[in-house]
A = this chain, B = another copy of it.
Amino acid sequence: MAIEGSKQQARAPRIRLGMVGGGAGAFIGAVHRIAARIDDQFELLAGALSSTPEKAMASGLDLGLEPSRTYGSYREMAIREAKLKNGIEAVSIVTPNHVHYDAAKEFLRRGIHVICDKPLTSNLADAKKLKKIADESGALFVLTHNYTGYPMVRQAREMVANGELGDIRVVQAEYPQDWLTEAVEQTGAKQAVWRTDPAQSGAGGSTGDIGTHAYNLACFVSGLELDSLAADLDSFVDGRPLDDNAHVMLRFKAKGAEKPAKGMLWCSQVAPGHENGLKIRVYGTKGGLEWVQADPNYLWFTPFGSEKRLITRNGAGSGPAAARVSRIPAGHPEGYLEAFATIYTEAAHAINAAKAGKAVDENVVYPTVDDGVKGVAFVDACVASSKRNGAWVKL
């Protein structure tokens, strides 16, 4: 091994965690639990893991929870845990989108920190109400836009912020997948069913499920805010009520005297050959960079007029923003779970600071309820623009 002194977290007591959703058969619940364990900052102690009580109990026991802390509903869990001496301090909400609002509300209003899947809610009204509740609660709200946890995404963001790309002119974001190329929701595949159901997902299909990630990352890396968009949405699969492909043109807000940056966003779930093809490219007056989620330990950077460089996680050219959220030396790939774990660890930093009554370290970064509102607003704008034949819609 090449590098000394890999990160070793100073020990603080583990944060007591509960979970809503994520019972047997769920995908993202297991991801959250691994993510919470990797850096050893959380201890899962309670759960309302399924809306079916027997499944909830079975799943809880399977995870080693005490039966008394395996709940049949999130509301019951919120009420009881808030009263326990060592009740949970934080809760992970990993349900379909339409449950986020109500579940989060129950915990926030009891001062329990919320770590919630994206998109924030299934409609913009709920999102705004939830923001208000979160802001007034005093509890923290962490949205798991997990791709922001990748070290080379942090590196990219830092390079843009440091001016290494100059003024940003163009941002190209894309997120193609292929798993909805055929009408799998009609075969009952659970992940497909709720994601293509407006009642559970909201107004956006691919835009909500993955477009929000691409949009979030485009802004996270570029440091820009979106001004307006023009979108053309399609449902290529017969009978699918939500979009499965979206082409979006982007106009960002100007920063100072610079010309406003432009961009494109393409998300698709009907693009054969793409498993999970999230890619972000940013171009400025001084250079360009490119990051691809499937190869997350690499960042391509071209200073204008010079050779393209391959910056690797913790390798030469990789700076402190990446190192802060990195665990192992260059050449030893970290992946999706580690990036997801970083969101949890950032949350732990923030929660521990809050418990200690201290300001959180300025390097701690995590997506918040504000990012969640922006994401739902993005979906709304896409749908609105597309209905108006691709007219520009302000965010």
Contacts and interface: CB of A to CB of B under 8 A. Distances in A.
Contacts of A190: 4
Contacts of A290: 273
Interface string A1-27: 111111110110010000000001101
Contacts of A336: 328, 332-334
A83 interface: no
A79 interface: no
A316 B307 contact: yes
Interface residues of A, number: 108
Of A190, A289, A302, A333, the most chain B CB neighbours within 10 A belong to A333
Chief secondary structure at chain A's binding surface: loop
Interface stretch (A121-129, A278-286, A348-356, A369-377): A278-286
Interface stretch (A102-110, A131-139, A216-224, A292-300): A292-300
A62 interface: yes
Nearest to A181: B304
A271 B283 contact: yes
A215 interface: no
Interface stretch (A70-78, A197-205, A230-238): A230-238
A205 to B, nearest CB: 14
Given A276-B332, A288-B273, A338-B335, A307 B311 contact: yes
Contacts of A330: 275-276
Nearest to A233: B262
Given A249-B390, A266-B264, A335-B334, A10 B272 contact: no
Contacts of A1: 27-28, 191
A390 B389 contact: no
Given A170-B270, A276-B331, 10 more contacts: A1-B27, A2-B275, A3-B179, A11-B63, A165-B272, A172-B266, A232-B251, A307-B316, A309-B310, A328-B336
Contacts of A310: 307-310
Contacts of A295: 295, 333
A365 to B, nearest CB: 21
Contacts of A4: 25, 27, 189-191
